[in-house]
Every structure is written in C-alpha cells, then in structure tokens.
Structure 1
Amino acid sequence: MGALAPQVAAGRPGKGSMFDQVVFAGGGVRCTWQIGFWESVANRVRLRPKIVSAVSAGAMVSSLILMGKSLDAVEYFAEAFEENGSNIHWGNLFRKGPLFPHHHIYRNGMRRLFEGGFERLRAATELRIAVSHSPQWLNGRLALIIGAGIDYSDTFLTRELHPNTARRLGYQQSFYSVRDCSNVGDLQRLILSSSCTPPFTPRQQHRGAEVLDGGIVDSVPVAGLDPGPSRVLILLTRRYPQYPSCFTCQKGEQLWTYVQPSRPLPVSVWDFSNPQRLWQAFDAGFADGEAFLAAHSPEGSAK
C-alpha cells in the first residue's frame, strides 16, 4: 500500500459522529498526543469502537485509554521522566546497569498502570496489536540493522503514510488480539514485542519467534482493521506535510478519517527525560481535538 494520494479531501468526514474502528499509530513519546486528542474528543463524539488496531507505543496508549487510565499514565511518565533525567546513562557503560533507561521505564510503567485494568480492557473492545517478523533469509542482528534502516528511511526520507519498503524485502506484520492474552503479563509481553527497537529495548520473542517493532512494516497499522463497511478514525503522531491536519479518503466500502498533529510535536520518539515536552504533546493533542470538534462534529458545525 503506497501513499494515499487519491481521493483525499480536507472536508468533514460525514454527518455521523461515531467511528466503528480506530487506528493508533506508533511514535514513542509522541503518542502522548493521542491521549490528549482522545481526552478532548472521545465522550463528545461517542467514541466506542468495535475494533482498535495499534502498534508499538500506540498499543500501550490505546490499552491505557481503554482501561480508563490514560491521564494517570501521563502523570506517571512525567514523574518517571523527571526522575530519569537523561536518555543515556553513561555511568553504566562499564557497569551492569543499562545504558539506555527506556525499557526499564516502559516496562515498569505498564506493570504499575495496567494493574486492575486488564479485564476492563478485554471487555471494552477488540484491541489488535501488530508485531513485525523478519524475512526467512534474514535473521539476527542483520535483520535488526536493516529494519532500523527501513524505519529511518520511511520516517525521514519517503514520508509515505503506508510505505512498502519492508514488505518488499520480506518483512511481515502480524496482529494479535488482546482477548487472546491469558493475563496482564501476556499483554505486557505483547506490547514489548510490538515495541522491540534495540538498542533501546532488548531483543524480543513472541510465541517462540523473534520479532521486531510492528511499525517497521507499517507504523500506521491499518492492516489490523476489519473489512466491510465502516467509519475509521486513524490517529497519527507526526506531521505529513503533504496532507492537511485532518483528511478523509474512501477505501472500498470504508471511510478513513486521518488526524495528524497540526504542527510538529516538541518531543522525540525516545525522549524519556523531559516531562515538560511530554505535557506539551498532550496539550497539543487536546487542542487539536478541540479543532477537530469545531470542524467535524454536528455540535461544532452548528456554532
């Protein structure tokens, strides 16, 4: 699937205000924008999706949203980032401690925040989480290096919404339903697999096979959607300057509504050291949600 150039429009996605399915793109700390947007919009447009497709940090964020713990998460990670202070712990270079603190903060955050929310998440909707698998002819460290190169190219060079580079090389994206997780530990391991990005995280296996960050194949995981007629909300986490902040396109019998940050976010994917920028990303999402409501909701259009 290439860039969605055809049939793109900046107008209202339609009169109805309910989306049947939602996609959460990956993007590390930038996914905090998704929380802000959701907090602004969800109750006012009755966001109760039947299917949610997510990847990497978007998988963690969507889990927290569906558990009703997203605001707790922003506060928790802001405190964790303040305590952390640096994205590289050079003092551990010749010690046993990790050089990069990201995995520890990420994993401990899920352990703390997911407590008591697993059953609510499973009852809320069907959440599908993407992981990537390297091609059979490529494995180990080389697969990781090439995967990282693909991710960099797709992010900074091609800037397509749904690039094909990884698929052409044989990388595959698989989706796993949270309802198939037996317990909260299974959910945490699935999200860690979906977020596997060495050297920031350790290498991961899922169901006996080595996996990579699900966003290597497509960081906007639309392949996890159900087919058939539906209205889809797709929450991006970075600017695609060739598109408006909100745009729609017809995909078969589905209407896809993309929303992206109205301006580049002040935080990078792996910046686990700046709580102020974390809150700024949240505030940007909330403001963009208000703009979305003003332009697209029946209440907003009546003003």
Structure 2
Amino acid sequence: MRSSLLAGLCLLLVSGAAHAAVPETTTVVELDSGRIRGQTEAAVTTFSGIRYARAPVGPLRWKEPVRPEPWTGVADATKPGEQCTQAEAGKRVGAEDCLFVNVTVPAKRTGKRLPVMVWLHGGGFTTGSGADYDARRLAAKGGVMVVTVNYRLGAFGYLGLPGLSGSGTFGLADQLEALRWTKRNAAAFGGDAGNVTVFGESAGGMSTCALLTSPAMRGLADRAIIQSGSCMLEWVSGTYLPIPGMPSFTPYVPLKANHATGLEAAKKLGCPAGRELECLRAKPADALMPVNESFSSSLAYGTPLLPREPAEALR
C-alpha cells in the first residue's frame, strides 16, 4: 500500500493533466523580494522561474547561496529559468545562473491555507531540473501548493577542496535556501508555511534523506517523502553500472574523500598545486565539464551541514 501511495504521488507530479484550450489570465503576487506575475489556466495558477538566490557565478561560484536583491516593478514568472549546468549528449547545457523555483497552486481558493510540497528532482546529482516536472495535476487534484527546485549539480554543486568552506554540500545548501524561501513566501501563494512536506526521487530522495539529518533543516519542513533514495542505500559492487571491479559505494562520502576528488579534478584541468580554487574559479563553465561527472553521488558528510553520515545519523 505504501509503495502504491508513493508511486501515485510521483505519477501525479510528473503527469500533466489534460487541459482544454482556455484563455490564460495573469496573476500578480508580492514576495519578500518583489512582485511577480504568473499565469492562470484552467484549474491552476503557475509561477515559473522565480529567483530564490543570486546567480552563483564569479566570486559566488562555490559559495553558500545568497538571498536575491529586491527588485522594483513586476518580474515575469511565466516561463522557467535556466536549468543548472549539466551535460547532455556530451555537450554542456543550462547555465550557472540557475537558482530558480517554480510554484503551482489551485486556481480556485477555499480560504484555507494550502499544504505545501517542495519537490527535489533526481538525476544522480548531475542532471535534471525542477521544470522537468509538471505539477499541475498534483496541485489541482491534491489541493496543494507545489514548489519544484533547481539546485547546483556536478562539480558546481559538490566540489570540495581543502580550506574551501561548504565543500561537497553546495547543492544541499541550495535546497535548504529554497526551503527557507518557501517558508518566507508560502503565504503569498495561499500556502501554509507551517505545513511543509519535502519530497524527492533518486538524487532528490537521497537529498531529502540528508536533509532529515542536517541541523540546518530544523524548522524548515514538517514531513518528508523519500522515493527511490533511502538513507541506507548502498550499491553493491557491479550493480550501479556494469563495470567489472567497480567497488561498492553510497551517495554520501567522507569530506576527506570529497577533497581528494576535488584535488584530482583540479590536477586534471591543469591547475597548479596550492592554487586550485583560484584556478578553477577563473575557468569558464565549459572547461569544467570534463570533471563534472566525477561529482555524481558525492554529497559530503563531516561538514557543518552534514556532521554525520546520514545512514548512521538516522539509525
């Protein structure tokens, strides 16, 4: 029964409802950073491409996310923002300026605050985006406010180096910032900031598990749903990929191992010892793609955000 419920939730999220051709109308709401304009069509109102943090570029590359600057006027929120940098068919797609959320709510309000569901996408910590998932059916039939989240991926989200604050957890920090944004702004969409469920699948499920054990998560969510990403997940040798001799591993790694992966990646990209961070920050995004996959399933523990290995902490 439990498996059927989780499968149903995922189906509701991924499957868009069939919509008759009806006129769209615009809807404006005021956030803590400024006003945005979304669109109402049939049973739902959607707000897409809402910035929840500043662009993590230049000196903000490999930094904790920073709240966006307030804006004047009404920002357009009728189309998704860029997906986070990733590889597709061997080529870079997306952009580093990618820290956006999308919000979907029922068009008709009953006066009661809506339960809030915050979705973390899967993709092995190297691919995917919040906009890949159509939340209209879940919002309309479930009577909930759905938030889908972009977070930094691959080397941009999980690089670690000795002395680099936040090593191995920048993507997790983005997810936490998106949850803080949701708590601050849920009421603007009719949502209940005191009734937040975080849920995700695969890498999103593993992230949800990690969030359950993070001290920084306290007060940000009330419930969690983990789909295909248990805290106890461990790939036995040869089961993750059919590669002979591939050792067993989990999606969580000690900080020391994360640092070693970062140093090896910097060396591969020609960065001199002792100047790895300076060198890597100076490189364009395309130049980092050869090492991007090195940070698949490489969320670091022994860090301020994840003091203990999640499976151990959960036990």
- TM-score between both structures, scaled by the size of structure 2: 0.23
* Higher Cα radius of gyration: 2
Structure number with the higher helix fraction is 1
Between Structure 1 and Structure 2, which shows a larger proportion of strand residues? 2
> Which structure exhibits the higher relative contact order, with contacts defined as CA atoms closer than 8 Å and separated by 6 or more residues?
1
